[in-house]
Structure 1
Amino acid sequence: MDPVVEVVALLLGFISWVMVGIALPNRYWKTSTVDGNVITTSTIYENLWMSCATDSTGVHNCREFPSLLALNGYIQASRALMITSIVLGTFGLLAAMIGVQCSKAGGENLVLKGRIAGTAGVLFILQGVCTMVAVSWYAFNITQEFFDPFYPGIRYEIGEGLYIGWCSAVLALAGGAVLTCSCKLGTQEKYPMPYQARGTVYSAGAPTRSVAASTYGRNAYV
């Protein structure tokens, strides 16, 4: 594979890893909607860690969720998936920097470097899958509560943190797919074997005999 393509895939993986780090602490995973409200005096927004409110004067008040066990199951799962995504992306970056062809860290064995790059691609794909599942699951619960006519609580809309997470997942999947294709599972090139025909090996240095001598006996020339 072209080394330039591998470098581009490495950059995609790096950008996706950075975006995961931005999306995780982002406060705007969901924001309270103004749909159906004539006068809005405050806006409430939440993420995986805290709930915040801001009034018309611009004053912000935030409080962290008091108990992990008291949270909804999808919030706990999204936390775990996002943290796992960052860990997978970190190991993927380290493997990709060793496995790309333009790097001198892995030596000159292209087969080994290709396998390391392929492993990095798998880690990036897993990072993208974890991020995609986390943000999509969170967004599904937001839309489910929003369109439920019997939901008694505050209705929320999708915040910017989820969009950052989706972009990160797409970039990680793209970069991981490219790096996975660079994995070289083949063995080293073998030298061509000498030509064989009917169990006999013919080489340039072997003595030759005429067809007549090999076909007829010695008495045929008397």
Structure 2
Amino acid sequence: MREARPVTRMWRRPAQILGLMLWILGWGSVGCTLAMDHWRVAQAGGRAGSSVVVIAWYWSDLWKDCYEDSTALVNCVDFGVLWTVKPYVQAVRGLLITGLCLGSMGTVLAFLGMECTRVGGDQRSKDGLLMTAAAFHLLGCLSDAAAYCLYINRVVAAFLHSKADPSELGYEIGTPLYLGLTGSFLVFLGCGVHCATVCRGNNPESEHLVVSLMREKDEFTGKNPPKNKDSRSVCVYEVTSVVMV
């Protein structure tokens, strides 16, 4: 009879590679948002009624505030020293960098814990490393999601305040926030895939089911014909009769 472990590995390895690709794609998206502009955007002007329509855009990211007019002339003011930056911007920076550091450590542990690599020890040790990597990625994912949600909360609060006070600018959510949330979701999905591979691979009931199915297949094809209890009892009776005679 063949073993069930190679059958389990047939789907575990592609699943682990898929989870790793989701992690890399997710953290790549999160890392790109740190360097992207237009985290929040506000438009001023653009109303008709004059010969020249003047439009101005005010946008900000984690590092500077900028003004851009209709002639594509951009003027930016970099944020000053750390203690002069708004507290929520500091919090967003710290949460994102913390999440990226946790994701980097989780990626290294994932390479050691995957079955397609030759390092990391035996199967039990690899499963432990993979679960630890998933935990690091999950914590990093939660840290990044909290950073994006905090920034979105401040943008929405400023938008609602501008509705009450027309003299204030009403900012809108920019593209980096959508990209970052999508990347966080990909990281969370990769954690689910890797946890599923470890839990399903260590479940004795699933292995017993595979073994049972393989036994039925062998019996059906004739490789391992079933033994009949009645035939064994008849053989024992015949042997006993011979001994008695």
> TM-score normalised by the shorter chain: which range applies?
0.7 to 0.9
Conserved 8 A contact 2:43-2:56: no
Residue of structure 2 equivalent to 1:89: 103
Determine the C-alpha separation between the residues in 1 that align with 2:139 and 2:54: 41
Q: Secondary structure at the match of 1:69?
A: helix
1:104-160 deviation digits (Å, cap 9, x = unpaired): 1224x0110011011111111112111111011101111111012137532210000
* Identical residues among aligned pairs (%): 27
Consecutive unaligned residues in structure 2, runs of 5 or more: 1-7, 48-52, 203-245
Determine the C-alpha separation between the residues in 2 that align with 1:7 and 1:84: 25
More helix by proportion, 1 or 2? 2
Determine the C-alpha separation between the residues in 1 that align with 2:15 and 2:85: 43
Tell me if 1:138 matches 2:151. Answer: yes
Question: Structure 1 pair 3/67, CA: closer, same or farther in 2 (3 Å)?
Answer: same
- 1:164 aligned to 159, 179, 183, which one? 179
How far does residue 72 in structure 1 lie from its aligned partner after superposition? 2.3
- 1:50 aligned to 64, 71, 84, which one? 64
Matches for 1:11-50 after TM superposition, within 5 Å: 11-33=21-43, 38=47, 40-50=54-64
How far does residue 176 in structure 1 lie from its aligned partner after superposition? 1.4
Size of the aligned set, in residue pairs, is 186
- 1:177 aligned to 184, 188, 192, which one? 192
Residue of structure 2 equivalent to 1:154: 169
Compute the RMSD of aligned alpha carbons.
2.3
Residue of structure 2 equivalent to 1:125: 138
Consecutive unaligned residues in structure 1, runs of 5 or more: 187-222
Q: Secondary structure at the match of 1:92?
A: helix
How far does residue 31 in structure 1 lie from its aligned partner after superposition? 0.6
Question: Structure 1 pair 128/87, CA: closer, same or farther in 2 (3 Å)?
Answer: same
1:83-114 deviation digits (Å, cap 9, x = unpaired): 1111111111111111111111224x011001
1:183-215 deviation digits (Å, cap 9, x = unpaired): 4697xxxxxxxxxxxxxxxxxxxxxxxxxxxxx
